[in-house]
Amino acid sequence: DAKTTQPPSMDCAEGRAANLPCNHSTISGNEYVYWYRQIHSQGPQYIIHGLKNNETNEMASLIITEDRKSSTLILPHATLRDTAVYYCIDRPYGGSQGNLIFGKGTKLSVKP
Protein backbone atom coordinates (compact mmCIF):
# COMPACT_ATOMS: atom_id res chain seq x y z
CA ASP A 1 0.00 0.00 0.00
CA ALA A 2 1.06 3.56 -0.69
CA LYS A 3 2.74 5.32 2.19
CA THR A 4 1.90 8.86 1.09
CA THR A 5 -1.35 10.81 1.18
CA GLN A 6 -2.46 13.41 -1.35
CA PRO A 7 -5.65 15.36 -2.02
CA PRO A 8 -7.68 13.62 -4.72
CA SER A 9 -8.05 16.66 -6.93
CA MET A 10 -7.00 20.27 -7.42
CA ASP A 11 -7.72 23.04 -9.88
CA CYS A 12 -5.30 25.68 -11.10
CA ALA A 13 -5.67 28.62 -13.47
CA GLU A 14 -3.48 28.59 -16.55
CA GLY A 15 -0.33 30.64 -16.02
CA ARG A 16 -0.54 30.49 -12.26
CA ALA A 17 1.63 28.37 -9.99
CA ALA A 18 0.29 24.94 -9.08
CA ASN A 19 1.27 23.76 -5.60
CA LEU A 20 0.63 20.07 -5.00
CA PRO A 21 1.00 18.85 -1.42
CA CYS A 22 1.97 15.41 -0.18
CA ASN A 23 2.15 13.96 3.32
CA HIS A 24 4.93 11.50 4.10
CA SER A 25 3.98 10.58 7.66
CA THR A 26 5.99 7.34 7.72
CA ILE A 27 8.98 8.30 5.59
CA SER A 28 12.23 6.83 6.86
CA GLY A 29 15.69 8.33 6.82
CA ASN A 30 16.89 6.39 3.81
CA GLU A 31 13.90 7.19 1.60
CA TYR A 32 13.79 9.82 -1.11
CA VAL A 33 10.71 11.71 -2.20
CA TYR A 34 9.83 11.10 -5.86
CA TRP A 35 7.19 12.78 -7.99
CA TYR A 36 5.73 11.32 -11.17
CA ARG A 37 2.81 12.45 -13.27
CA GLN A 38 0.52 10.64 -15.67
CA ILE A 39 -1.17 12.44 -18.49
CA HIS A 40 -4.36 10.79 -19.71
CA SER A 41 -3.74 7.59 -21.71
CA GLN A 42 0.04 7.76 -21.25
CA GLY A 43 2.49 6.03 -18.94
CA PRO A 44 3.75 7.85 -15.84
CA GLN A 45 6.55 10.38 -16.32
CA TYR A 46 9.28 11.17 -13.82
CA ILE A 47 9.31 14.78 -12.66
CA ILE A 48 11.75 15.25 -9.80
CA HIS A 49 13.11 13.69 -6.62
CA GLY A 50 14.85 14.86 -3.45
CA LEU A 51 16.06 13.78 -0.03
CA LYS A 52 15.90 16.78 2.27
CA ASN A 53 17.02 19.79 0.30
CA ASN A 54 14.79 21.72 -2.03
CA GLU A 55 15.28 20.76 -5.64
CA THR A 56 14.54 22.44 -8.96
CA ASN A 57 14.72 21.27 -12.53
CA GLU A 58 13.29 22.38 -15.84
CA MET A 59 9.89 20.90 -15.03
CA ALA A 60 9.23 21.77 -11.40
CA SER A 61 10.46 22.63 -7.93
CA LEU A 62 10.28 20.37 -4.92
CA ILE A 63 10.03 21.74 -1.40
CA ILE A 64 10.56 19.27 1.45
CA THR A 65 9.89 20.33 5.04
CA GLU A 66 12.67 20.05 7.55
CA ASP A 67 11.07 17.08 9.30
CA ARG A 68 10.48 15.50 5.86
CA LYS A 69 6.87 14.71 6.75
CA SER A 70 5.51 16.75 3.89
CA SER A 71 6.53 17.98 0.49
CA THR A 72 5.14 20.31 -2.15
CA LEU A 73 5.59 20.04 -5.88
CA ILE A 74 5.47 23.42 -7.56
CA LEU A 75 4.74 23.95 -11.24
CA PRO A 76 5.61 27.65 -11.52
CA HIS A 77 3.51 28.53 -14.57
CA ALA A 78 0.94 25.82 -15.18
CA THR A 79 -0.24 25.20 -18.72
CA LEU A 80 -3.14 23.16 -20.04
CA ARG A 81 -0.65 20.39 -20.86
CA ASP A 82 0.11 20.03 -17.15
CA THR A 83 -3.35 18.58 -16.59
CA ALA A 84 -2.54 15.12 -15.24
CA VAL A 85 -2.56 12.88 -12.17
CA TYR A 86 0.45 13.62 -9.95
CA TYR A 87 1.91 10.97 -7.67
CA CYS A 88 4.33 11.39 -4.79
CA ILE A 89 6.25 8.28 -3.76
CA ASP A 90 8.70 7.42 -0.99
CA ARG A 91 11.52 5.23 -2.22
CA PRO A 92 14.57 3.81 -0.46
CA TYR A 93 18.03 5.19 -1.01
CA GLY A 94 19.94 3.78 -3.94
CA GLY A 95 16.88 2.24 -5.51
CA SER A 96 17.48 -1.08 -3.83
CA GLN A 97 13.74 -1.60 -3.87
CA GLY A 98 12.90 -2.29 -7.47
CA ASN A 99 9.34 -1.13 -7.72
CA LEU A 100 7.51 2.14 -7.24
CA ILE A 101 4.47 2.09 -4.96
CA PHE A 102 1.84 4.45 -6.35
CA GLY A 103 -1.17 5.78 -4.48
CA LYS A 104 -4.17 7.33 -6.20
CA GLY A 105 -2.41 10.66 -6.70
CA THR A 106 -3.82 14.13 -7.17
CA LYS A 107 -5.73 14.91 -10.34
CA LEU A 108 -4.66 18.41 -11.34
CA SER A 109 -6.94 20.26 -13.73
CA VAL A 110 -5.45 23.38 -15.30
CA LYS A 111 -8.21 25.65 -16.54
CA PRO A 112 -7.97 28.48 -19.07
Partner 1 sequence: DTGVSQDPRHKITKRGQNVTFRCDPISEHNRLYWYRQTLGQGPEFLTYFQNEAQLEKSRLLSDRFSAERPKGSFSTLEIQRTEQGDSAMYLCASSTQYGGPGGHEQFFGPGTRLTVL
Residue 56 CA to residue 63 CA, distance in Å, equals 9
Whose Cβ is closer to partner 1: residue 71's or residue 87's? 87
Q: Does 68 bind partner 1 (CB under 8 A)?
A: no
DSSP state of 38: E
Q: Does 49 bind partner 1 (CB under 8 A)?
A: yes
Residue 64 host element (H or E): strand 61-64
**Using CB under 8 A, which of 11, 46, 57, 111 touches partner 1?**
46
Is 62 within 8 Å of 55 (Cβ atoms)?
yes
Stretch that binds partner 1, among 21-29, 57-65, 69-77, 84-92 (CB under 8 A): 84-92
Stretch that binds partner 1, among 21-29, 61-69, 71-79, 94-102 (CB under 8 A): 94-102
Fill in the amino acid letter for 91: R
